[in-house]
């Protein structure tokens, strides 16, 4: 009402009819929807910017073999670029979800106190077509294509849950990505940006902590948990409305967008400065490659007439001996030495270099990256290409 009185004072001719027939939600809720729409339009190009930068990283390293992990135990090899495409896939899904929610946002329109438009029907002397025309005109002037056909006093609060949910899913996606980066930083395979004067630890001067990725995880975790608020709010809106939504929404909606904006800005900064350490990656591969090559060795023996079951048993015994040497004695994996010394494998010893070439273990990974970037990543980038800022603002560390 303070606003209404102020406007009336500033515009005395219009003063007598300002807010006539309207309820506060005809103003406030519609304004909120404008803000939500515009906030999405700020976030989506930033998300696309992260997709673009990560896509370039994936393409650059699509053929670089690296250890794959399941259960955080060494598994079949993949490539650095293919792993980046797993993160990209999540971001592509997030863009699709967020843009879908953005596209489906409607205006509340001019609906009155309980959504019946009774006061406006009275103003137009019972002419419902004029009531609809008013609703449509205001909706179009606000830049929306349509309004919700029916409302209570507010627009459906479940819409807020959809909005925050789409952002919470983004939070989960970037949290997963930055957790992976933290693990890889711990193995010295990939490093996030580290400034020349940056201090990793006040006590341990040698440390280069992945603090940017940690920051993303911290804020993303907050973002992920915000979704419970709008879900609960939507569930307890009594009949046409209650006012226990108001203060909660002012916190939850704004903080969800601010948190999402923060993680995308930080993620862009991380992605622009990612450093890959191929020699460390190769060293880590060498530690376990002999175990992974056992199937290739068995196949090679069978091709020259060997018995698969006999070969499998010999490999099994030698592998267990080598594993014991690694785990108990702390020595390097000597499985290949054991294979070379066993006369049984003499017929294929000249094939061992080829059987142990890491690039033969990565399957279709490079081709998958190329196809994925062309078919799924580039269309998303193209949607926002004129709005993408490829260089993130330098972060205050």
What is the model's pLDDT at position 291? 83
Q: How far, in Å, CA of 86 to CA of 151, rounded?
A: 41
> pTM to 2 decimals?
0.87
In the set 71, 129, 149, 202, the catalytic residue is 71
What's the per-residue H, E or C state across 161-220? HHHHHHHHHHHHHHHHHHHHHHHHHHCCCEECCCCCCCCCCCCCCCCCCCHHHHHHHHHH
314, 376 in Cβ contact below 8 A?
no
Distances (CA, A) of 98 to 30, 94, 158, 212: 20, 6, 15, 24
Distance from the Cα of residue 50 to its chain's centroid: 9
CB 299 within 8 A of CB 82: no
Contact status, residue 163 vs residue 131, Cβ threshold 8 Å: no
Question: What pLDDT shows up at residue 260?
Answer: 98
Give me the pLDDT at residue 18, please: 86
Cβ contacts of residue 363 below 8 Å, gap of 6+?
76
Query: Which residue in the list 5, 100, 201, 235 is annotated as catalytic?
Result: 201
CA distance 316 to 310: 10
Catalytic residue list contains 99: no
Query: pLDDT (tens digit, 0 to 9) for every residue of the chain, 397 residues total?
Result: 888 899 899 999 998 888 888 888 888 999 999 999 999 999 999 999 999 999 999 999 999 999 999 898 888 899 999 999 999 999 999 999 999 999 999 999 999 999 999 999 999 999 999 999 999 999 999 999 999 999 999 999 999 999 999 999 999 999 999 999 999 999 999 999 866 666 655 555 555 778 899 999 999 999 999 999 999 999 999 998 888 888 899 999 999 999 999 999 999 999 999 999 999 999 999 888 888 888 889 999 999 999 999 999 998 999 898 888 888 888 888 888 899 999 999 999 988 888 888 888 899 999 999 999 999 999 999 999 988 865 444 444 4
Residue 42 C-alpha from the chain's centroid: 16
Looking at residue 23, its pLDDT comes to: 86
Q: pLDDT at position 391, please?
A: 45
Q: Which long-range contacts (CB under 8 A, 24 or more apart) does 126-135 make?
A: 134/110, 135/109, 135/110, 135/111
**Residue 71 known to be catalytic:** yes
């Amino acid at each position: 009402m303070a606003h209404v009185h102020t406007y009336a004072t500033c515009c005395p001719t219009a003063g007598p009819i300002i807010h006539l027939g309207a309820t506060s939600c005809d103003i406030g809720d519609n304004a909120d929807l404008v803000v939500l729409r515009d906030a999405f339009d700020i976030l989506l190009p930033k998300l696309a910017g992260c997709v673009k930068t990560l896509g370039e990283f994936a393409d650059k390293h699509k053929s670089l073999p690296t250890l794959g992990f399941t259960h955080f135990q060494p598994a079949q090899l993949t490539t650095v670029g293919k792993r980046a495409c797993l993160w990209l896939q999540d971001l592509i899904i997030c863009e699709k979800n967020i843009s879908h929610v953005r596209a489906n946002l409607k205006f509340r329109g001019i609906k009155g106190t309980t959504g019946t438009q009774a006061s406006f029907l009275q103003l137009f002397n019972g002419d419902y077509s004029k009531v609809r025309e008013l609703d449509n005109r205001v909706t179009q002037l606000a830049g929306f294509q349509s309004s919700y056909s029916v409302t209570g006093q507010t627009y459906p609060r479940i819409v807020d849950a959809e909005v925050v949910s789409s952002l919470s899913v983004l939070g989960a996606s970037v949290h997963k990505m930055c957790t992976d980066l933290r693990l890889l930083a711990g193995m010295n395979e990939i490093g996030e940006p580290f400034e020349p004067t940056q201090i990793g630890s006040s006590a341990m001067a040698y440390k280069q902590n992945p603090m940017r990725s940690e920051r993303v995880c911290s804020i993303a975790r907050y973002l992920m948990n915000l979704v419970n608020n709008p879900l609960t709010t939507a569930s307890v809106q009594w009949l046409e409305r209650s006012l226990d939504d108001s203060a909660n929404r002012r916190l939850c909606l704004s903080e969800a967008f601010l948190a999402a904006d923060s993680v995308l800005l930080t993620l862009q900064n991380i992605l622009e400065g990612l450093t890959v350490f191929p020699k460390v990656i190769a060293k880590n591969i060498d530690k376990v490659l002999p175990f992974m090559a056992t199937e290739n060795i068995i196949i090679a023996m069978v091709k020259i007439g060997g018995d698969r079951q006999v070969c499998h048993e010999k490999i099994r015994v030698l592998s267990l001996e080598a594993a014991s040497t690694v785990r108990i004695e702390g020595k390097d994996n000597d499985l290949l030495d054991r294979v070379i010394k066993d006369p049984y494998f003499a017929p294929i010893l000249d094939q061992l270099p080829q059987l142990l070439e890491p690039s033969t273990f990565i399957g279709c990974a490079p081709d998958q990256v190329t196809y994925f970037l062309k078919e799924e990543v580039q269309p998303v980038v193209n949607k926002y290409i004129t709005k993408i800022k490829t260089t993130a603002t330098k972060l205050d560390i």
